[in-house]
């Protein structure tokens, strides 16, 4: 049984190491200036040729991207955390409920610390198709949507009866955080490297929280 538990925990450690390595690689490219050329090229693909203030695509698509990007806003994410906290509390999963709050708050603090630490400027305002504030690297929307959606999906998955449903919950979380990150680049408020770093950092933090939840569960002697 112990060997089975060790093997089950191996893949999160490997993913954690991969996410951490990915964040450091992107950070190195940004600090050395090597990422700017591809960042600028990707941003240009999202704009009408010769008109950097106009995103490509019809108006309804632009509005859809603004709706999607709102999924990664502090208000929406806070509502999601509170809703899942209530669900876990009603289910009697108090440790998991508080872990959800701590993971989300800790991820937010880490995101702000990284932003202030790197102090990277956003793309020129002419590209902005939505209102933004603060620094650019890493993308707070991409990072926090990854942190919150993945952490909450992992915690809620514990209440689901089958592996298929658990995978579905995690898959929806990955899709939602992925779309949020892409919307930030499309709307011209982040470089692609900001979003990649946000995904990597958010995944690493979510995995750390998941491992913390496993440690708490195993500490209670529940190895099922």
Residue 42's pLDDT band (cuts 50, 70, 90): very high
pTM: 0.87
Using DSSP, state whether 92 is helix, strand or coil.
coil
- Among 4, 128, 190, 215, the active-site one is 190
Alpha-carbon dihedral 117, 20, 76, 128, rounded to 10 degrees: 60
State the distance between the two ends of the chain, measured CA to CA, in whole angstroms. Answer: 9
Tens-place pLDDT, residues 146-198:
999 998 888 777 777 788 888 898 899 999 999 999 999 999 999 999 999 99
| C-alpha to C-alpha distance for 129 and 187, rounded to whole angstroms | 5
Give the mean model confidence (pLDDT) for residues 116-136: 91
Catalytic-residue membership of 141: yes
Catalytic-residue membership of 190: yes
- Among 4, 128, 141, 215, the active-site one is 141
Comparing 210 with 10, which gets the higher pLDDT? 210
Domain ranges of the chain: 59-217
Comparing 224 with 139, which gets the higher pLDDT? 139
Peptide bond into 138 cis (omega under 30): yes
Give the mean model confidence (pLDDT) for residues 50-68: 93
């Amino acid at each position: 049984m112990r060997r089975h538990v060790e093997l089950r925990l191996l893949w999160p450690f490997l993913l954690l190491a991969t996410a951490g390595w990915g964040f450091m690689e992107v950070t190195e490219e940004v600090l050395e200036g090597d990422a700017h050329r591809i960042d600028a090229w990707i941003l240009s693909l999202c704009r009408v040729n010769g008109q950097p203030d106009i995103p490509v695509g019809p108006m309804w698509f632009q509005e859809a991207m603004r709706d999607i990007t709102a999924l990664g806003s502090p208000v929406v994410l806070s509502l999601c955390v509170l809703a899942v906290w209530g669900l876990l509390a009603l289910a009697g999963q108090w440790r998991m409920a508080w872990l959800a709050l701590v993971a989300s708050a800790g991820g937010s603090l880490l995101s702000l610390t990284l932003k202030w630490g790197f102090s990277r400027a956003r793309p020129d305002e002419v590209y902005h198709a939505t209102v933004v504030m603060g620094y650019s690297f890493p993308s707070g929307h991409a990072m926090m949507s990854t942190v919150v959606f993945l952490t909450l999906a992992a915690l809620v998955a514990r209440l689901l009866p089958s592996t298929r449903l658990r995978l579905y919950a995690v898959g929806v979380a990955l899709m939602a955080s992925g779309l949020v990150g892409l919307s930030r680049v499309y709307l011209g408020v982040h470089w692609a490297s900001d979003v990649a770093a946000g995904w990597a950092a958010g995944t690493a933090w979510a995995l750390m929280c998941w491992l913390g939840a496993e440690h708490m569960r195993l500490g209670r002697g529940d190895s099922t």
